[in-house]
Chains A and B, each alone.
Chain A
């Protein structure tokens, strides 16, 4: 598992944010956690993020809005959306926008890592992709 991959986690709920960060770290990833979308956007590390795990429902800027903002600014970071309840309209909108995965809390660990792996595959530059 490459160690230079940076996974950024954005969730306004402190408990959940810390827990998911811990889980990612236990798997060997480098993790950075942010309490809000704005905090993430003002961080200089945006470029280095290989995968984004973001909460769907946050005050001020939701996960989907953040993804859209990033796409418009030219950052094609693979994004995984996590939400507290299953909302078909949110899921449809998310998938239409190009978000890779949509999971509900509590996340199944295997499903989460499946999503993270496919996200990291996308983030790799072409010559490193497994043929």
Chain B
């Protein structure tokens, strides 16, 4: 899968949040969240700190599960981002989330009160808290690796096997690390420095532990602040900020499990996983919508192209040439058979009969093409002219960009709907717009295409397509609508005559006037849809 350009012609970096620059609105939103986090912290650490809360043992498994699920989904999404974008920074961040997700399992199981009153899995009072330390320090380190690597260029090409290998190696290493750590803190819990005095209260050692931990996160946050570029970076900063507050809440105001501060800290812990998950989900939805739109636009474009005058003309030409060439050959053959000393009448007759057949065949070809138009002409619906113009502009967007044509639109918003065949009217608009672009192709100054819609009279509305290009010779004003007339190097010149017949079939008129000081204005009217 090529990520370089999507079907709509957008570059990869325009779509992917890990490299897209955040907008002003997004920055303000992030700032708002920072303020909310701070305010809550202040409230919890201040007025509410003394609020007595019950110890809810069921909270721990619920919390552990939440962390596991949120962080492992985030890790999964980041791993797949890595496989597509080939940036090692993403691999590091993905492993950071994988680490926190995985540690949530032994953390929950060793927590006093879950499996055993003093610490499950054969561990003791210290097991859980040291797993907490490992989880946080590990995430901070992975985040720092992400920050240092993120501005490096992605690797040109990695085979799927190579990508899989890298993911599996890192995932395997992290898993091994967590397993060893779990074994160590449970079996060797007696060797661990005594941070927990009992199942709820921490000792003074805790302050020595959280100091470096918080410092690590502050370093990461500062580094990221200096280097932040993308939306992902912005939200990662929020994540780090939430982590810092969470660590602070384990010690301030009361370093006591199941206090208000502690519960609040757990909530911050869930948030740090959720932020990144939320923006990744938002990116997935955004890409999905974009992809749908692009596919639909491409399909519509193809439909319109199929019925463009040039395409039809080419088909007609090719199909008609067969019987016509055969006719000429048959006539020649007939002449030769008759031109001999002894004319071969039978062969000459056969050749002439062949000519008759060829003529019928040519007629059938033309009839087929007419029914192709007729079939579609029967499908008429109520249409909004302004939407038609907007869609036509979308279809030619690439052309406009390539030729650097500026578009001005002037829509009358209160126009009534018209009844017509959407594809045919699209074809007319695209044809007129393409002609306008072509007429300005050699123009040096500003290339401006103006599209207007307004009321023409009591029963019809009018659309104008204005350009500042070469314009139309006064003598050719009516000629250009005749078939075969073309000033172009390529094409059969069928476009405008087909456009005129489409508009006339709809009950309108198509004509051209000169634009001053230069260029042409093509206008067509359409009758308004009358409800019966």
Q: Is the CB of B361 within 8 A of A15?
A: yes
What is the number of residues of chain B that contact chain A, defined by CB distance less than 8 Å? Answer: 24
B307-352: which have CB < 8 Å to A? 317-318, 321-330, 332-334, 336-337, 347, 350-351
Choose the segment among A21-29, A33-41, A73-81, A90-98 that binds chain B (4+ C-beta atoms closer than 8 Å).
A21-29
Q: Is the CB of A19 within 8 A of B318?
A: no
Known: A15-B357, A26-B347. A105 touches B322 (CB 8 A): yes
Q: Which A residues are in CB contact (< 8 Å) with B334?
A: 26
For the complex of A and B, 7 pairs with smallest distance between CB atoms: A19-B329, A106-B325, A26-B336, A105-B325, A15-B326, A19-B326, A22-B333
Q: Is the CB of A19 within 8 A of B336?
A: no
Inter-chain pairs besides A15-B326, A106-B321, A106-B328, 18 sampled, C-beta below 8 Å: A15-B322, A16-B322, A16-B329, A19-B330, A19-B354, A22-B350, A22-B351, A23-B332, A25-B333, A26-B333, A26-B334, A26-B347, A84-B322, A105-B322, A106-B329, A107-B325, A107-B329, A109-B332
Can you list 9 contacts pairing A with B, beta carbon distance less than 8 Å?
A15-B326, A15-B357, A18-B326, A19-B325, A19-B351, A22-B329, A22-B351, A22-B354, A23-B332
Question: Which secondary structure characterizes the binding site on chain B?
Answer: helix
Q: Is B386 an interface residue (CB 8 A)?
A: no
Q: Is B358 an interface residue (CB 8 A)?
A: yes
> Nearest-CB distance from A61 to chain B (Å)?
19
> Nearest-CB distance from A67 to chain B (Å)?
21
Q: Which B residues are in CB contact (< 8 Å) with A23?
A: 329-330, 332-333, 336
Q: Is the CB of B325 within 8 A of A16?
A: yes
What is the number of residues of chain A that contact chain B, defined by CB distance less than 8 Å? Answer: 17
Q: Which A residues are in CB contact (< 8 Å) with B361?
A: 15
A1-31: which have CB < 8 Å to B? 13, 15-16, 18-20, 22-23, 25-27
Q: Which A residues are in CB contact (< 8 Å) with B326?
A: 13, 15-16, 18-20
> Nearest-CB distance from A117 to chain B (Å)?
16
Q: Which B residues are in CB contact (< 8 Å) with A105?
A: 321-322, 325
Provide the bound-state CA to CA distance between A105 and B319, in Å: 11
> Nearest-CB distance from B104 to chain A (Å)?
62
Q: Is the CB of A22 within 8 A of B347?
A: yes
Q: Which B residues are in CB contact (< 8 Å) with A84?
A: 318, 321-322
Question: Which secondary structure characterizes the binding site on chain A?
Answer: helix
Per-residue 0/1 for B349-367: is the Cβ within 8 Å of any A Cβ (1 yes, 0 no)? 0110010011001000000
Q: Which B residues are in CB contact (< 8 Å) with A16?
A: 322-323, 325-326, 329
> Nearest-CB distance from B138 to chain A (Å)?
61
Q: Which A residues are in CB contact (< 8 Å) with B325?
A: 16, 19, 105-107
> Nearest-CB distance from B408 to chain A (Å)?
40
Provide the bound-state CA to CA distance between A15 and B324, in Å: 9
Q: Which B residues are in CB contact (< 8 Å) with A22?
A: 329-330, 333, 347, 350-351, 354
Provide the bound-state CA to CA distance between A52 and B511, in Å: 53
> Nearest-CB distance from A128 to chain B (Å)?
26
In the complex, which residue of chain B has the Cβ closest to the Cβ of A20?
B329
Q: Is the CB of B322 within 8 A of A26?
A: no
Provide the bound-state CA to CA distance between A27 and B333, in Å: 8
> Nearest-CB distance from B331 to chain A (Å)?
9
Q: Is the CB of A15 within 8 A of B358?
A: yes
Provide the bound-state CA to CA distance between A13 and B365, in Å: 13
Q: Which A residues are in CB contact (< 8 Å) with B323?
A: 15-16
Q: Which B residues are in CB contact (< 8 Å) with A107?
A: 325, 329
> Nearest-CB distance from A14 to chain B (Å)?
9
Provide the bound-state CA to CA distance between A85 and B323, in Å: 14
Q: Which A residues are in CB contact (< 8 Å) with B347?
A: 22, 25-26
Q: Which B residues are in CB contact (< 8 Å) with A13?
A: 322, 326
User: Which of B321, B329, B336, B361 has the most chain A CB atoms closer than 10 A to its own CB?
Assistant: B329
Q: Which B residues are in CB contact (< 8 Å) with A26?
A: 332-334, 336-337, 347, 351
In the complex, which residue of chain B has the Cβ closest to the Cβ of A26?
B336
In the complex, which residue of chain B has the Cβ closest to the Cβ of A13?
B322
> Nearest-CB distance from A39 to chain B (Å)?
19
Q: Is the CB of B321 within 8 A of A27?
A: no
Q: Is the CB of A15 within 8 A of B354?
A: yes
Provide the bound-state CA to CA distance between A27 and B339, in Å: 11
> Nearest-CB distance from A100 to chain B (Å)?
20
Provide the bound-state CA to CA distance between A13 and B351, in Å: 16
Provide the bound-state CA to CA distance between A86 and B407, in Å: 37
A45-88: which have CB < 8 Å to B? 84-85
